[in-house]
Structure 1
Amino acid sequence: MTTPENARTLPAWAREVELSLPLHPQILLSGNVRDLYPLVTAGDDEVDLVDLPEMVWTVVSRRGYAAMLVLNPVTARVDVRSADKPPEWTAPLLSTVYDTPAAISGLLVQVVQNREAPVALALPYTARLAPAEGLLEPADRALLTRAEVLGHQATPTRGAGAAGTMAPFNTIVWACERQEELHALFPIGSPMLRVIPVPRPTLDVRATAAQFLFKDSSSDQRKARAHAIGEVTHDMTVRDVIACGKLARDRGLPADRYADAARLLQVGITDDPWSATRLREKIKKAEDYLNARVLGQERAVRKAVDILVRSAVGLNGAHTSSSPNRPRGVLFLAGPTGVGKTELAKAIASLVLGGDAEPHRFDMSEFRADEAHQRLIGAPPGYVGYAAGGELTNLVRANPVSVLLFDEIDKAHPRIFDLFLQILEDGRLTDGRGATVYFTECFLIFTSNLGVSEAKAPDGGPAPAAVTPTVSYHTQPAQVERMLRDAFTHFFNQTLGRPELRNRFGDSYVVLDYIRPHVAPRILTKAVESVAARVSRVHDLRLDVRPDVETKLGDIMLERLEDGGRAIGTLVETVVVNPLSRWIFDQAPAPGSVVTLTSIAGSDGDWRVEVN
């Protein structure tokens, strides 16, 4: 037995369509218009899923419409829906080909001028009727002009409508995913056009739709399984929810593993790399590994390991009821230059991804311009570079499991931070072409030296501001952390005016201290050992450094600690590597020889070594 249409519960946007029928001759549906929508039969909780034209027909048929015509862009003809036989006057319309703007204009006129029982005309691909950018052809311009004029000329029909209701118009129903896809001449601002957004499904809608998958189960079991699927499909469409359920059923996944099917649909990976035994075993030893890579930053390493552990067990963001699709991990590394921020990011990438993996690095000082965000997500339609997509979205789409390093994030243009707000909150980003990219399996690392120095306006006029240090390696570690954290808070609260973004970082803010005198010798030894290893590998020579040479290097090093560990590496390169390279080039020692550095002498720009 056919279920009466008025016995079915409509989505909120469809109820708004129903209320608009006697008030607006034209309706524009925008947003999630390519989805499926649940229709629930009152009394027995039976769920059916219908597409947009079928949902619109369900609505208009409840209001007594005799038929609904749907322009099919594949066949260039109109399909018809009606409860009984379609009105006779529509017969010629069904045999006509509508492959030109003029033909579609004629169709609009005939529908609007119908004076019998009301009918509706749906155009599901409105944005394809006329190009959104550039000059319109005369026929396209005439189509959009006629559409607007017909809206103003429309009058309610004299034919039969639903009993006891206002007489409806012959309704034109336009549909597009994004309003910006429509040409500027489309009558979006016309008072005769009602714009109704079709939202992405909420948890309740997703859970209701998922019941369609379990028709043969008991009511309680059906609702429990459907709710489990709804929970793990945050921000997905109903089509994706159904695909997720079918995938889970096909693989025999229990309810507690529906997230695996959702992950496959979102990011294209079948297994959870963060729960792999290999990674878990490595994280157990992560503190020793990271401390060996980043010297003298034990506190920062301990905090980084806490976040890695939280990521591995899937509890990042567990304290909040918001989006479960947040990135796997977020780390904000602050501190002076040369203290190991970038090296810690590299070590985490190697730990998570294995081998010699590197983080995907974005130097945010390159994103200072207002339009720089387009480099990350791609240019909008009609702009240069639209087809290429965005650097960030393309990268994550191709590498859904990634460690992303955003270096010197405070140097980026303020508009860039709007993108990060969306990534940190929802774990997704929409590129310039409208495609969604998920960051669910990504580990995000931000670096900054906010608070290390501040700009001071000079006394003598509009010259460039001078940069004055606010902390140094003479400052006590606790004071360094307090001052840098205050600068971090001031930047997001006052400078950017985005305290909500600061809150998204939560406890992931970690301060790396200056390289202290007791740590510096270990960094120096590591640098010298690296030089010896390279000399052995490239030239088959054994490098031996005398203790007095190491002592002198240490003395020079202590004078340069203000610039951090990178300055120690530069010191070794300048004082040891450069003169040693000249000696090897000139003397060409035989492979297998022992090269002993007996002394170093000179000054910046003219260092010499004595070799035995």
Structure 2
Amino acid sequence: MSDGYPAWLREVRTALSINSQIVLYGNVRDVFLLPAPHGWEPCDLQTGLHRVLAEEGYQHLVVADPVAGLGVLPADPVTAKAAAEVVQRDNRPPWGPWKDKEGPLGALCDVIERVATADGQRSAVLIEFASRLILDPGRLDPAEHAFFARSDRLSRVAYPKPVPTDSRPLYNPIVWAVNNERDLPVWLTAGNDDVRKIAVPLPEFGVRETAARWLANALTGYREAGEDDRHELERRLAEQTQGMTLRSMMAIARLAARMRTPIGEIDEAVRCYRVGVHDNPWRASHLRGRMQHAAENIASRVKGQREAVQRSVDILVRAVLGLSGAQAGGNVSRPRGVLFFAGPTGVGKTELAKELTQQIFGDARAYTRFDMSEFSAEHSADRLIGAPPGYVGHDAGGELTNAVRQRPFSLLLFDEVEKANPRILDKFLQILDDGRLTDASGSTVYFSETVLVFTSNLGVTAEEYAIQREADPLQAPFTRDELEVRVRRAVEHHFTTVLNRPELLNRLGDNIVVFNFIDAETAAEIFDVLVAHVHERLRAEHGVDLRLTEDVRRQLLAGATRNLAMGGRGIGSHLESALVNPLARELFRREDLNGRTVTVTDVREADGMHRVSLA
């Protein structure tokens, strides 16, 4: 800040001689730090605007508020009287809520016309909360259209004028403060050189660092800390509040002071402000203990994927330590962990995601799954972040943003991501980079405490697998190294050539986890696990102890592993058809099964239907 004022206020000062009306849009509801005799002073927009105008010789700033009515700055009797002489109409007091036989907008337009065309003194009008003047800028009623038509004409007929105390020709400007530039009719500002649109941005790093220095005095231990520790705190607070307003920074400082957060742990106050939860599961002492044995525990349930399990656990250990993206510097708002599971279908990608959830959060159900095949249409992005205002369901929010808002500490599973529309994948760029996403209502949702898991079947299709298996049933179709190269090339080709989204692949980095094919030995282990599930269900539901003869087991295993192209799902499907369905049919005919042992002695297929014999 060259003279201490934000850039947008300096641009307002420049516009006074060349533009009759100014539209301020964007971060207009924030607090702004302006220079003061003993440091910095927090000011709102109208106070900051008044200070700049006063330095340029403007006697007063009339503030028009749709709710509070008319006011004036500075708020003293002398100034109020001078302003009243400018905006007085029919000898009635102009202050207070607008009342006029032509309606409130007619009365307001009379006021701004009188100010803009006043002779002999510098005056300005700020129309606060101008976004709330009308319901829909695209559908104006006659009174609204007349108001903006008069405003449009006024912007073109007003001229800069000198005053007795200042020979410079300056406008008496009309300043509109809106959330979005589209909150005003397009025809008012489009192609109109007399109306300047000035964006009020979120505070940049230098401003946030200044604010951090100003706020830090209230933090526990700041005054006692050394100079280097103070600078480190200020830098960290500025870095961790990227994309936030100064109002948010002030709220974080109040929260840290109330929680007596040490200056070395200011990130805890930022995290608490973002997610609204004081407890941090990522720092729980039992989590480290679970992660030390996570690889062994998961491998006992996800069969044949030793390399994938170990790679995933390594990435999550990094997440637990808070080192994800550490090489990129101070941006700690990225997701805690990102994994991209790639490989054949039915090999345990979704199952591994569930097991990781169990290890991290102690609950295998603490994840939210999105089937990305449901998001193949471009408009389906509305399901993730919510429909735009004015559309059906806009007030319901998005499935993704609602899920993270309700459960900020969770695992998000995006299944078969290659089937999603490329436009939808663009949403993940902001999540992977900044760890946040703005929904359709304008609310920001933070992903900094989540783990993102993407799955994909890119690499080798079931048909290719079947052909390779048919050529040599006893040999795996590819070695581990060949599979790694093949799958990674397929993923790279899909993102760079098919989707034309190399930037998304770049965000994934080295977090691609390649899964093995299911071999014969692993298939037998999966088969035994699935049969054990049937045992457990029968025992729990009906008190029945199920047993298979060795011949029946071998027969079922041979059928289930005859074609491993569909992986574990193929084994489960065969087991359901050959055992579960005929077994259910036979048990349904019997009564008083509780406490009995049922042995399957024979399995046969006839007329396309499997049958079992029980003893």
TM norm. shorter chain > 0.5? yes
Match of 2:176, SS? strand
Which residue in the other structure is 1:305 paired with?
313
Match of 2:410 among 399, 402, 408: 402
Which residue in the other structure is 1:500 paired with?
503
Distance 1:14 1:35, change over 3 A: same
Deviation at 1:340, TM superposition (A): 0.6
Deviation at 1:83, TM superposition (A): 9.3
Deviation at 1:496, TM superposition (A): 1.7
Match of 1:175 among 160, 174, 177: 177
Which residue in the other structure is 2:40 paired with?
47
Q: CA RMSD in A?
A: 2.5
Q: 1-side partners of 2:443 and 2:467: how far apart?
A: 44
Which residue in the other structure is 1:419 paired with?
427
Match of 1:113 among 97, 107, 117: 117
| 1:585 maps to 2:578 | no
TM-superposition CA deviations, 1:17-65 (whole Å, max 9, x none): 21221111111111111111111348x6x11111111111122122111
4+ residue segments displaced more than 6 Å: 466-472
- 1:325-344 equivalences in 2 (<5 Å): 325-344=333-352
Q: 2-side partners of 1:229 and 1:588: how far apart?
A: 69
Match of 1:138 among 139, 142, 150: 142
Distance 1:477 1:169, change over 3 A: same
Q: 1-side partners of 2:70 and 2:439: how far apart?
A: 33
Q: 1-side partners of 2:510 and 2:238: how far apart?
A: 29
Contact 2:34 2:41 survives alignment (8 Å): yes
Contact 1:334 1:448 survives alignment (8 Å): yes
Match of 1:323 among 322, 331, 336: 331
Which residue in the other structure is 1:458 paired with?
none
Instruction: Report which stretch shifted further, 561-570 or 581-590.
Output: 581-590
Which residue in the other structure is 1:126 paired with?
130
Q: 2-side partners of 1:98 and 1:238: how far apart?
A: 33
Distance 1:367 1:197, change over 3 A: same
Q: 2-side partners of 1:40 and 1:324: how far apart?
A: 30
Contact 2:542 2:594 survives alignment (8 Å): yes
Deviation at 1:585, TM superposition (A): 1.0
Distance 1:153 1:569, change over 3 A: same
Which residue in the other structure is 1:206 paired with?
208
Match of 1:382 among 372, 379, 390: 390
Which residue in the other structure is 2:90 paired with?
none
Q: 2-side partners of 1:602 and 1:146: how far apart?
A: 86
Contact 1:69 1:121 survives alignment (8 Å): yes
- 1:9-28 equivalences in 2 (<5 Å): 9-28=4-23
TM-superposition CA deviations, 1:439-493 (whole Å, max 9, x none): 1111111111123349xxxxxxxxxxx9998977623332222122111111111
Deviation at 1:134, TM superposition (A): 5.3
Match of 1:167, SS? strand
Which residue in the other structure is 2:472 paired with?
none
Match of 1:31 among 26, 41, 47: 26
Deviation at 1:296, TM superposition (A): 0.5
Match of 2:163, SS? coil
Which residue in the other structure is 2:51 paired with?
58
Deviation at 1:75, TM superposition (A): 1.8
Deviation at 1:162, TM superposition (A): 6.2
Match of 2:199 among 178, 197, 200: 197
Match of 1:382, SS? coil
Distance 1:386 1:594, change over 3 A: same
Letter in 2 for 1:304: S
Match of 1:246 among 220, 236, 254: 254
Letter in 2 for 1:127: S
Match of 1:9, SS? coil
Q: 1-side partners of 2:430 and 2:545: how far apart?
A: 53
Deviation at 1:276, TM superposition (A): 0.9
Deviation at 1:224, TM superposition (A): 5.2
Deviation at 1:89, TM superposition (A): 4.9
Which residue in the other structure is 1:95 paired with?
95
Instruction: Report which stretch shifted further, 328-337 or 91-100.
Output: 91-100
Letter in 2 for 1:16: E
Letter in 2 for 1:351: Q
Match of 1:278 among 286, 299, 314: 286
Percent identity over the alignment is: 39
Distance 1:553 1:210, change over 3 A: same
Letter in 1 for 2:147: L
Which residue in the other structure is 1:147 paired with?
151
Q: 2-side partners of 1:490 and 1:356: how far apart?
A: 33
Contact 1:145 1:185 survives alignment (8 Å): no
Q: 1-side partners of 2:164 and 2:577: how far apart?
A: 92
Letter in 2 for 1:12: A
Deviation at 1:156, TM superposition (A): 0.5
Match of 1:445, SS? strand
Q: 2-side partners of 1:51 and 1:486: how far apart?
A: 54
Letter in 1 for 2:29: R
Q: 1-side partners of 2:40 and 2:321: how far apart?
A: 36
Give unmatched runs, 5+ long, in structure 1.
1-5, 455-465
Contact 2:60 2:72 survives alignment (8 Å): no
TM-superposition CA deviations, 1:247-302 (whole Å, max 9, x none): 11222111111111111211111122111112222111211122122111111111
Q: 2-side partners of 1:603 and 1:62: how far apart?
A: 96
Q: 1-side partners of 2:182 and 2:607: how far apart?
A: 60
Match of 2:70 among 77, 80, 95: 77
TM-superposition CA deviations, 1:290-327 (whole Å, max 9, x none): 21221111111111101111111111111113732111
Letter in 2 for 1:157: K
Match of 2:192, SS? coil
Contact 1:260 1:271 survives alignment (8 Å): no
- 1:552-563 equivalences in 2 (<5 Å): 552-563=555-566
Contact 1:452 1:470 survives alignment (8 Å): no
Deviation at 1:86, TM superposition (A): 2.3
Match of 1:293, SS? coil
Which residue in the other structure is 1:235 paired with?
243
Deviation at 1:387, TM superposition (A): 1.4
Distance 1:453 1:224, change over 3 A: closer
Letter in 1 for 2:26: G
Which residue in the other structure is 1:443 paired with?
451
Match of 2:327, SS? coil
Letter in 1 for 2:181: Q
Q: 2-side partners of 1:467 and 1:369: how far apart?
A: 28
